[in-house]
Amino acid sequence: MLNKIKKLQSEVEDFRTNNLEELDQFRIKMLGKKGEVTLLFGEFKQVPAELKRDFGQAINVLKNSVQDKIKTLFSELKTVDSGPSGQDLTAPGEPSPLGTRHPISLVRNQIIDIFKRLGFNVSIGPEIEDDWHVFSALNFPPEHPARDMQDTFFINQDPDILLRTHTSSVQVRVMENEKPPIRTISPGRVFRNEAISARSHCIFHQVEGLYIDKNVSFADLKQTLQFFAKEIFGPSTDIRLRPSYFPFTEPSAEMDISCSLCNGKGCNLCKYTGWLEILGCGMVDPNVLESVGIDSHEYTGFAFGMGIERIALLKYNIKDIRLLFENDVRFLEQFQNAQ
């Protein structure tokens, strides 16, 4: 038995390695649950009483030798190259920086939160749509230019299957499947065949709102949009509504907000008008209500739609819409503390 201990002692003294993995294997071999030293301690009770003292001392010397050897080699290996990259593989890892939400997501969530406080729920729908939900149900005549290939992406040259150009298609689906009162917003990605520039993109995001009930008026629309503008751009924000035209609303309007950069005095951002256009709106055309089975004599409603990118550009004073799609980390890091 003592000869076995002497043999193991000699093995410990001769052991050399320049690899942490080999050192750990040596530790397991000697001190592991089924290691050589551990087994010797298990055999101790079988040693005759007159030999227990010598046997016990020899085992303890061996154990201390193993521990000292491991400690020495470990200290040496920490100071030299222990990996292919020249790094100390035993050093603590560096923490990965936390990411942040994309500015489009930040603005979308803010818009949703504002309208939820007004009682609007959120509706979503497919991005690949048919002509009925994107155009026909919304009072677009067959000759309307929005149906042309220059504005719309059609699938496999099929005039009835296309990428939605606005999230109004979701509103049509809601009106088809729900009875008034309806109060919903529809955020989502839309597609238009437009040239990419600093101010426009072929892919962007919209939030469109719809409210249908008895006795809904244009005054309700104005109050809703005024509340929204003040909540997202600040309490000093003013709005104005200009007459416009959309096939699915009558009367229709464009909404402007007072320029937050110059406070309405005029600057490069607002082209010295003091106003910035942010969305379109109007009362739902009776033809739209009838097309989805809602009695236009009993119910009225209003609708509005805005581009999330446009709101983000104004809110964060971003000069180029393309920055929102390029995933440049230097740009995105600026929004780590944005709310």
Q: What angle (nearest 5°) sits at the alpha carbon of residue 283, between those of residues 136 and 230? A: 125
Query: What predicted TM-score, i.e. pTM, was given to this entire model?
Result: 0.69
| pLDDT at residue number 274 | 86
| pLDDT at residue number 171 | 96
How far apart (Å, rounded) are the C-alpha atoms in residues 169 and 130?
Answer: 9
Compute φ and ψ for 218, nearest 5 degrees: -65, -30
134-147 burial, b if ≥16 CB within 10 A, otherwise e? Answer: bbbbbbbeeeeeeb
| pLDDT at residue number 177 | 94
DSSP H or E stretch at residue 252:
strand 249-258
Q: And the tokens for 326?
A: 């390029």
How far apart (Å, rounded) are the C-alpha atoms in residues 174 and 179?
Answer: 9
Between the alpha carbon of residue 100 and those of residues 66, 103, 105, 106, 250, the distances in Å are 50, 9, 10, 9, 41
Query: How do the pLDDT tens digits run along the chain, 339 residues long?
Result: 667 777 777 887 888 888 888 888 888 888 888 788 777 777 767 777 777 777 778 778 878 888 888 888 888 877 655 445 556 667 777 777 777 889 999 999 999 999 999 999 999 999 999 999 999 999 998 888 877 766 888 998 888 899 999 999 999 999 999 999 999 999 999 999 888 888 889 999 999 999 999 999 999 999 999 999 999 999 999 999 999 999 999 999 999 999 877 777 777 777 888 898 999 999 999 999 999 999 999 999 999 999 999 999 888 888 889 999 988 888 888 887 776
Between the alpha carbon of residue 195 and those of residues 7, 147, 150, 164, 302, the distances in Å are 82, 17, 10, 17, 31
Interstrand relation of 249-258 and 158-163 (parallel, antiparallel or unpaired): unpaired
Give me the CATH topology for the region 103-335.
BirA Bifunctional Protein; domain 2 (3.30.930)
How far apart (Å, rounded) are the C-alpha atoms in residues 304 and 281?
Answer: 4
**Contact, 40 vs 97, CB < 8 A?**
no
